[in-house]
């Protein structure tokens, strides 16, 4: 997986969970009212970040790999 840079200054954590060496965090960005996910692999210390449409944010939080953009 590749890592995509996302500014953290206006992001607010909405939810976090950990399972099988992965930490999934859902964020809301106050600047543009967008939502995004971070998937952190604790064994490799790699984080993949990507935006998700707000209407699908909760589903993406529970099923992050189904919402990964093509190419990741």
| Distance (Å, whole) CA 44 – CA 63 | 20
User: What is the token pair recorded at 53?
Assistant: 């449409």
Residues 35-48 pLDDT 10s:
999 999 999 999 99
- The model's pLDDT over 11-70, given as tens digits with 9 standing for 90+, comes to 999 999 999 999 999 999 999 999 999 999 999 999 999 999 999 999 999 999 999 988
**Which residue from 19, 17, 37 is spatially nearest to 27, judged by alpha carbons?**
37
Global pTM reads: 0.82
Predicted pLDDT of residue 72: 61
In order of 15, 37, 47, 49, 50, the CA distances from 1 in angstroms are 22, 14, 8, 10, 12
Please give the backbone phi and psi of residue 68, each rounded to the nearest 5 degrees, phi first. Answer: -60, 135
């Amino acid at each position: 997986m590749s890592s995509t840079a996302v500014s953290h200054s206006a992001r607010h954590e909405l939810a976090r969970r950990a399972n099988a060496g992965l930490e999934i965090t859902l964020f809301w960005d106050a600047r543009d009212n967008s939502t995004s996910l971070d998937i952190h692999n604790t064994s490799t210390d790699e984080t993949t970040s990507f935006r998700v449409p707000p209407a699908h944010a909760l589903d993406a939080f529970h099923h992050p790999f189904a919402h990964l953009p093509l190419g990741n």
